[in-house]
Chains A and B, each alone.
Chain A
Amino acid sequence: MKLRVNPIKCDAHGLCAELLPEWIRLDEWGYPIINEAQIPRELEAHARRAADACPTLALLLTRD
């Protein structure tokens, strides 16, 4: 699994970086910079929680 953001939807709420700091950090304007690698199994549940928490539904879990 990988994480991806839809940058058109993203509004820089920043919840994702709070919920998944191991994988997501914020740039100086508050927009996420996401690790593009495969998410390790132990983080998958946290990644799903972060995606669900995004107020604009901009954070996407993909299967590739």
Chain B
Amino acid sequence: MSTASVDIALPRLLTGLSQPGMARLARHLDVHGSLPAPAALDGPALIELAERAKLRGRGGARFPAAIKMRAVRASRGRAIVVANGCESEPMSAKDALLLAELPHLVLDGAALAARAVGAEHVIVAYEGRRGSDSRQSLEHALKERRAAGVDSVRFELFAAAETFLTGQETSLVSQINGGEPRPTFIPPRPTQRGVRRRPTLVQNVETLAHLALIARHGAGWYGAVGTDDEPGSTLVTVLGAVNAPGVYEIECGTALESLLAAAGGLRGAIAGLLIGGYFGSWLPAGVVAELAVCDASLARHDAALGCGVLIALPSGACPVAETVRVAIYLATETANQCGPCVHGSAAIARTLHAIAEGSAAPGALADLGRWTQSLPGRGACHLPDGLAHFVSTALRTFPAAFDDHARHGPCESCGAPALLHIPAPSRPR
């Protein structure tokens, strides 16, 4: 995968990545300098800084980091920080890239987050099998930091399960506590009672990497790129029908056309776009020219950047086959806890499959419309919401294709190799 920047002021997070050695502490400090001392930037000041920078979480929900940090700081008990490197979104590559190539930026950010909430203990969670590069890189980075004595916090590594829901905040906390990788009901929020029943800040590793640079250079520097509402840069994984798929660092609000150009340009005509990964939205190819890569622009098309995955579907691919495979995958990744998700997800996946095969009962499309409307908000986590949105935007974006499959069964492109990756099951079912 290639990495590059779009804007002259970038890259920031990905600085130095084109040459080897950024995973080493000495080189990291050469490039970025050391962190401001606690006397110069204490916990409350750090939270204020994150607030002024309008730093939002990069795990998918884009929740303001300062609000979370403040909630943890305000909770009673010794706080704990979890650096969440469990991407679990099958098409996203940014978090694994950060852990493998830029571990010190993430660890700097995690140490700062600990300072912000008054924690002495940081758990860095990565995905077990997929994360083997991450483990090696993190172990080496932590050894270097211990030898150099740069941290006053204690770090611990945690190999998380490899399921779609592994990185969901409460699911990750449950695993660290020795439980199953399943979401839990809120309240309590992890900010109130999380790991070892202590107030817990769970923050995505990209968010932490941004915090590491904001602490060094300030909120004004951070907001020198991006939009007023969404300042700074963000990492996106661009895949599909582009000439140079990979992880890119862009200014928030970059024109989608510029991003696609940075990714080598489109490889021919496209049928549509998937933005935000498997919890994301399908959009027709026609909107490319008017889209900017920020939530303000995407929201006008009922879409969000989410985990930052952007996939261009080539016109030769079948949107129905791609949608069905992902819907089945998501339905099998249910934690099997909440009735509406267990039954609704299975019904959606089954019905979509029947439509793709041309064997659906009349009214199947109406059933899908009803289920995708009634499912959101009715699970302990957002899996049903994500699935419903993924499917309803597919139906809306490719109505002719779904109608054609319902009438005539599989099309010529249905047998083409899958573009949207489906991980192999990693647990007994």
Give Cα A33–Cα B338 distance, bound, in whole angstroms.
13
Pair B374/A7 contact, Cβ less than 8 Å = no
Q: Which one of B100-108, B159-167, B200-208, B339-347 is at the A interface? A: B339-347
The residue of chain A having its C-beta at the shortest distance from the C-beta of B379 within the complex is: A7
The residue of chain B having its C-beta at the shortest distance from the C-beta of A6 within the complex is: B185
Residue A29 contacts which of B343, B379, B380 (CB distance < 8 angstroms)? B343
- Does A15 count as interface, using CB distance less than 8 angstroms? no
Listed residue (B184, B339, B343, B344) with the most chain A CB atoms within 10 angstroms of its CB: B339
The residue of chain A having its C-beta at the shortest distance from the C-beta of B342 within the complex is: A29
Give how many B residues have a beta carbon under 8 Å from the other chain's beta carbons.
Answer: 14
List residues of chain B with CB within 8 A of the CB of A31: 339-340, 343, 378
Given A29-B343, A31-B343 in contact, is the A8-B337 Cβ separation under 8 Å? yes
The residue of chain B having its C-beta at the shortest distance from the C-beta of A5 within the complex is: B378
Give how many A residues have a beta carbon under 8 Å from the other chain's beta carbons.
Answer: 14
Main secondary structure of the interface of B (DSSP, over half): loop
Pair B338/A8 contact, Cβ less than 8 Å = yes
List residues of chain B with CB within 8 A of the CB of A9: 185
List residues of chain B with CB within 8 A of the CB of A10: 338-339
Give Cα A31–Cα B374 distance, bound, in whole angstroms.
11
Given A8-B184, A10-B339 in contact, is the A27-B374 Cβ separation under 8 Å? yes
List residues of chain B with CB within 8 A of the CB of A33: 374, 378
Pair B343/A7 contact, Cβ less than 8 Å = no
- Does A20 count as interface, using CB distance less than 8 angstroms? no
- Does A17 count as interface, using CB distance less than 8 angstroms? no
- Does A12 count as interface, using CB distance less than 8 angstroms? yes
Residue B338 contacts which of A7, A30, A36 (CB distance < 8 angstroms)? A7
List residues of chain B with CB within 8 A of the CB of A6: 185, 380
List residues of chain A with CB within 8 A of the CB of B341: 7
Listed residue (A7, A27, A30) with the most chain B CB atoms within 10 angstroms of its CB: A7
A10 CB to nearest B CB, Å: 6
Q: Within A10-57, which residues are at the interface with B (CB < 8 Å)?
A: 10-12, 27, 29-31, 33, 36
Give Cα A12–Cα B16 distance, bound, in whole angstroms.
55
Q: Within B256-285, which residues are at the interface with A (CB < 8 Å)?
A: none
Give Cα A13–Cα B61 distance, bound, in whole angstroms.
33
Give Cα A17–Cα B128 distance, bound, in whole angstroms.
43
A38 CB to nearest B CB, Å: 17
Write the B340-363 contact mask toward A (1 if CB under 8 angstroms, else 0): 110110000000000000000000
Give Cα A35–Cα B378 distance, bound, in whole angstroms.
12
B325 CB to nearest A CB, Å: 24
The residue of chain A having its C-beta at the shortest distance from the C-beta of B186 within the complex is: A6
B363 CB to nearest A CB, Å: 13
Pair B185/A29 contact, Cβ less than 8 Å = no
The residue of chain A having its C-beta at the shortest distance from the C-beta of B340 within the complex is: A31
B14 CB to nearest A CB, Å: 40
Pair B380/A27 contact, Cβ less than 8 Å = no
A60 CB to nearest B CB, Å: 10
Give Cα A30–Cα B340 distance, bound, in whole angstroms.
9
Pair B184/A7 contact, Cβ less than 8 Å = no
Give Cα A31–Cα B377 distance, bound, in whole angstroms.
13
Pair A29/B340 contact, Cβ less than 8 Å = yes
Give Cα A22–Cα B132 distance, bound, in whole angstroms.
54
B245 CB to nearest A CB, Å: 37
Given A6-B185, A7-B380 in contact, is the A12-B339 Cβ separation under 8 Å? yes
Give Cα A12–Cα B339 distance, bound, in whole angstroms.
8
Give Cα A5–Cα B374 distance, bound, in whole angstroms.
15
Give Cα A22–Cα B340 distance, bound, in whole angstroms.
21
Pair B340/A27 contact, Cβ less than 8 Å = yes
Listed residue (A10, A27, A33, A36) with the most chain B CB atoms within 10 angstroms of its CB: A27
Pair A29/B339 contact, Cβ less than 8 Å = yes
The residue of chain B having its C-beta at the shortest distance from the C-beta of A33 within the complex is: B374
Taking Cβ atoms with an 8 Å cutoff, the residues of B that contact A are 184-185, 337-341, 343-344, 374, 377-380
List 22 A-B residue pairs with CB atoms under 8 Å apart, sorted by A's residue number.
Answer: A5-B378, A6-B185, A7-B339, A7-B380, A8-B185, A8-B337, A8-B338, A9-B185, A10-B339, A11-B339, A12-B339, A27-B340, A27-B344, A27-B374, A29-B339, A29-B340, A29-B343, A30-B339, A31-B340, A31-B343, A33-B374, A36-B377
In the A-B complex, list the 9 residue pairs whose CB atoms are closest, starting with the nearest: A7-B338, A29-B343, A31-B339, A8-B337, A6-B185, A31-B340, A8-B380, A8-B185, A12-B339
